[in-house]
Amino acid sequence: MRVRRKVSDSKKSDLGFQLLLLAWPVIQFCIFYIYVNINTVRLAFNFGETSGGPFVYLEYVSQNPEFLKGAGLSLLLYLVCTAISIPLALLFAYYIYKKFKGGKLFRFLLFLPSIISATVLIIIFTKFTAYDLLVFQHDVLGVEVPVSITSGEFKYVWVVVIGFYLFLNFGTTTLIYSNKMSEISTEVVEAARLDGVNRLQEFWHIVLPGVWPTLSTFIITGMATIFTNQYFLFTFYSSTAVTTLGNAPLGYIIYNSIQDAFLSPQSVERAPVMYHNMAALGILITAVTIPLVFGGRALLKRFGPSEK
């Protein structure tokens, strides 16, 4: 009897301790995740407001041409960036994993853009393009009226924006892939080489399946951020990206609208409407993204290579 009571007391004390440890994270989660998301639904569907119906903001954002154009651009940018970055990152990772010439140095240099902030590198780049590159165009290339390659006047400005986004992003991805590749059993690779497998076959049949869980995680998390990725446009252009480039992805539009509504001197009048609009836009994006992510996940599981 006494032993059972002791066990029960100890269990109670363990449960009390666990609840104590979980108190802050759970309260924080309830307020800043559950309540905030419920409030997003309230804002989006205009609950508790006397004017307008429940779909007034949803209708507005779903018919707004700027948001529709932004959604299309977000999708296009995701496809282009994924199509370029995944093969390149895998090839770079394979190069580092195979310890080819300079692999260690590249490993170090590829990681630097994740340490030095994107803002630092973008400021250096924009200052360089606004000063020395203009002089270079004028003095060396003989261009009469040089144009900054980050300005809207430059024909290939989107190539510059996408290129810089990829430059800043895929270093870390490459390293994660190469670290994952280094977990592949050396015996398997050696046995395959002895069987006469060439590099392409080794990459396709051994390395790619080995790195697949990581790769599919990246693809899925990438899908989840299709409509929230800002592609560093706010760092490049502040609130002028739409006027400079003619269009901007939804992630940029959302952040720019919210910060503008919150920080501008007229925010007292503008913020409430903007909050409703952005919450409605968020709900629409969530409604599109959730099936996309789960569908994508199922497809990758079904058709992806097996490690076995």
Partner 1 sequence: MLKSKKISLSHNKLSASSIFILVILLVYTAFLAFLIFWAFMVAFQTTDKQIFNKCGGAYYKMPPHFELHFAEVIEKLQLNGLPGEAKQNFFDILRNSLLYSVLSAFLKTLIPCLTAYACARFNFKTGKVVYTAVLMAMIVPLVGSQSSELELVSKFVVGDYSLIIDNVIGTSLLKANMLGLYFFVFYSTFESMPKDYFEAARIDGAGNWSVLFKIAFPLVKNVFLTVFIIEFVQFWNDYQTPMVYLNHRPTLGFALWQLSFGTAGAALSNPVLAMTTVILCALPVVILFIIFKDKFMGNLTMGGIKG
Residue list 62-81, contact with partner 1 (CB under 8 A) = none
Question: Please, which residues have CB within 8 angstroms of residue 209's CB and are 6 or more apart in sequence?
Answer: 305, 306, 307
| Position 279 contacts partner 1 (CB under 8 A) | yes
Q: Which of 76, 120, 159, 188 forms a contact with partner 1 (CB under 8 A)?
A: 120
232: left (phi over 0), alpha (psi -120 to 50) or beta: left
Query: Least distance (Å) from partner 1 to the CB of residue 224?
Result: 4
- Of 8, 117, 201, 243, the one binding partner 1 (CB under 8 A) is 117
Binding mask 223-262 for partner 1 (x = CB under 8 A): -xx-xx-----xx--x---------------xx--xx-xx
Q: What 8-state DSSP symbol labels residue 238? A: G
Q: How many residues bind partner 1 (CB under 8 A)?
A: 114
Complete DSSP assignment for 289-303? HHHHHHHHHHHHHHH
**Site for partner 1 contains 47 (CB under 8 A):** no
| Paired tokens of 40 | 């997003």
214 is a site residue for partner 1 (CB under 8 A): yes
> Per CB under 8 A, does 184 bind partner 1?
no
Query: Would you say 149 and 156 are in contact if contact means Cβ atoms under 8 Å apart?
Result: yes
Site string for partner 1, 284-303 (x = CB under 8 A): -xx--xx--x----------
Asked if 138 interacts with partner 1 (CB under 8 A), we say: yes
Least spacing, CB of residue 82 vs partner 1, in Å: 16
Which of the 8 DSSP states describes residue 248?
Answer: -
Residue 76 or residue 100: which is nearer to partner 1 going by CB?
A: 100
Asked if 207 is part of the footprint of partner 1 (rule: CB under 8 A), the reply reads: no
96 contacts: CB under 8 Å, gap ≥ 6: 103, 106, 107, 110, 174, 175, 178
User: Between residue 149 and residue 168, which ones bind partner 1 under the rule CB under 8 A?
Assistant: 167
In this chain, which of 217, 243, 246, 269 binds partner 1, going by CB under 8 A?
Answer: 217
**Two tokens, residue 279:** 């919450």
Through-space distance between the first and last CA atoms of the chain, rounded to whole angstroms: 52
Contact between 88 and partner 1 per CB under 8 A = yes
Q: What does the DSSP assignment read for 181-204? A: HTTS-HHHHHHHHHTT--HHHHII
Is 8 a binding residue for partner 1 by CB under 8 A? The answer is no
